[in-house]
Chains A and B, each alone.
Chain A
């Protein structure tokens, strides 16, 4: 126990004295978040408009749908209001039971308070579409009154999506690359061999290595979330302890893969391609940078089961939806299965020499 502790302290010292390691595991992910914070994908999208149609009229809704600048969602009062609160709608239009374009009803619109500009555009568009329909259909020049009420919404931006993804990705990278490269170097430089000539139990050394990596991982989580909240307006909803639990579970999966790779490779030249083959598809297809909803169906069949998909989805649910561990049971189950598989592979493949 004492020895494991001393070994952990020593490898922690070694880690934090190595500038490259800190740059790769902590600064680089932050830098990526920083770079992407300049990108606003919101601007390219149509304004999302919710319609709660309680009337029999369909002309107005189809007229709204024909406006290219609007993306129209139809739903009940409840679902649309929730979507507005979640920041998924800019404006929600509520058509009363008696509504038709020539009526003198009041059309209530609910405006997302944090998107006043888009909201004003949407309100103008709604009024104009309604006016055109009314002029076409009646000559009495009565038209429904449009009222606007603002609603405080939680508006998620791209950073809210991206930051948990990058966090999951950097857990993968430091697990796989950190361990695989680290151990291959220890082997190649005869350091492990020298340790084996002492009475040290190999398990003590492995435990210390894993403990060190997990401590670094937890530091990664805390720093990323902290910097996200302080500097990038991250809407952190969840419990940080839950995030650490998911992070550590994911860490075990990727550390196992790292140990397995270090057993399969004799030199750094062999580690690099292997590690890249494993991590690159996940980096691109596990929904780190972009939502996986854009992937074609057949891709889902495979990517749904990637360990990074479980980790990124789980961390993102906690971060932006405030999910509890129970809410992300599926992701936890997936990660647990992967953890068992990767630890098994690590034990099978790992070699001291």
Chain B
């Protein structure tokens, strides 16, 4: 049985279909990328799974629980990082994590969580004082307070510089290695290819492909696809990183 089973869900806003009969199965363990053009319905799909939006039709079963019927139970099982959402001002990272623990009636160890995302030295800082990459890492730490079985990351690396993005990849891979299942959205194809065990492609509100990235590539190639241009041995990002270094820039 898969950990997450999305069965042909739909959602309309003022008559406009944002998600139309989208289906997705996510097995236990590993990382699934949900990719697709802007407006394809990725965020809406995630929000329906996360109980933040009602589901017009279809169903979502998470770890055997129906999301529409028992949203409170589902909330306890998942950890979410929302796109462009922030945290309270004037609470330190430690205080925020303790408070989020309380929301799940859990005593958490903030330092351990911060260590997980390499923010231990910022324990007494406010979120406003963090860099973009640090904010994203903190928001992953906050999503981990309830030790979720499934972690949702909505565009975790958008707006980060290449170094910060690669650093965040490292954090995400480590969380996967601890046995967590992760669903993330991204606009970066190399990110999906580098990080993810499976890639689900969404377009016009529906999932049109769902397979390991290499399999998707192989299928395309076996259908006779050829690139106009021979792949170069390096690309601009490689140049950028080799000139500016791989180490993280944060002050």
Give the distance to chain B from A79, nearest Cβ to Cβ, in Å: 56
Chain B residues closer than 8 Å to A196, beta-carbon distance: 52
Question: Could you tell me the distance between the alpha carbons of A13 and B72 in the complex, rounded to whole angstroms?
Answer: 28
As a 0/1 sequence over residues 6 to 25 of chain A, the CB contacts with chain B under 8 angstroms (1 = contact) are 11001001100110000000
Judge if B89 is at the interface, Cβ distance under 8 Å.
yes
Q: Which one of A3, A17, A190 contacts B84 once the chains associate, using CB atoms below 8 Å? A: A190
Majority secondary structure, A binding face: helix
Judge if A293 is at the interface, Cβ distance under 8 Å.
no
A197 and B72 contact, Cβ closer than 8 Å, known pairs A6-B102, A189-B86, A191-B87:
no
B-side interface size class:
20 to 34
CB nearest to A9 among chain B residues: B99
Question: Could you tell me the distance between the alpha carbons of A193 and B31 in the complex, rounded to whole angstroms?
Answer: 24
Chain B residues closer than 8 Å to A7, beta-carbon distance: 99, 102
Most buried by A among B75, B84, B95, B102: B102
Judge if A195 is at the interface, Cβ distance under 8 Å.
yes
Judge if A326 is at the interface, Cβ distance under 8 Å.
no
CB nearest to B51 among chain A residues: A197
Query: Is the pair B82, A194 in contact by a Cβ cutoff of 8 Å?
Result: yes
A10 and B85 contact, Cβ closer than 8 Å, known pairs A3-B105, A199-B75:
no
Give the distance to chain A from B127, nearest Cβ to Cβ, in Å: 10
Query: Is the pair B85, A193 in contact by a Cβ cutoff of 8 Å?
Result: yes
Query: Is the pair A197, B90 in contact by a Cβ cutoff of 8 Å?
Result: no
**B-facing residues in A173-202 (Cβ within 8 Å):** 189-191, 193-200
Chain A residues closer than 8 Å to B89, beta-carbon distance: 14, 18
CB nearest to B75 among chain A residues: A199
Chain A residues closer than 8 Å to B87, beta-carbon distance: 191, 194
Q: Which one of B50, B88, B100, B104 contacts A14 once the chains associate, using CB atoms below 8 Å? A: B88
Judge if B103 is at the interface, Cβ distance under 8 Å.
yes
Chain B residues closer than 8 Å to A14, beta-carbon distance: 88-91
| A to B contact number (C-beta, < 8 Å) | 62
Question: Could you tell me the distance between the alpha carbons of A156 and B101 in the complex, rounded to whole angstroms?
Answer: 54
Chain A residues closer than 8 Å to B105, beta-carbon distance: 2-3
**B-facing residues in A188-228 (Cβ within 8 Å):** 189-191, 193-200
A199 and B90 contact, Cβ closer than 8 Å, known pairs A7-B99, A194-B85:
no
Question: Could you tell me the distance between the alpha carbons of A315 and B78 in the complex, rounded to whole angstroms?
Answer: 50
Chain B residues closer than 8 Å to A194, beta-carbon distance: 80, 82, 85-87, 142
Q: Which 8 A-B pairs have the closest CB atoms?
A: A190-B85, A17-B90, A198-B103, A14-B90, A189-B86, A200-B103, A6-B102, A197-B80
Residues of chain B at the chain A interface (Cβ within 8 Å):
50-52, 72, 75-76, 78, 80, 82, 84-91, 95, 99-100, 102-105, 142, 146
- 15 A-B Cβ contacts within 8 A? A2-B105, A3-B103, A3-B105, A6-B99, A10-B95, A13-B91, A189-B85, A190-B86, A193-B52, A194-B80, A194-B86, A197-B50, A198-B100, A199-B76, A199-B104
Having A7-B99, A14-B88, one finds 13 other A-B pairs with CB under 8 Å, namely A2-B102, A6-B102, A10-B88, A10-B95, A13-B90, A18-B90, A190-B82, A191-B87, A194-B85, A198-B100, A198-B103, A199-B72, A199-B75
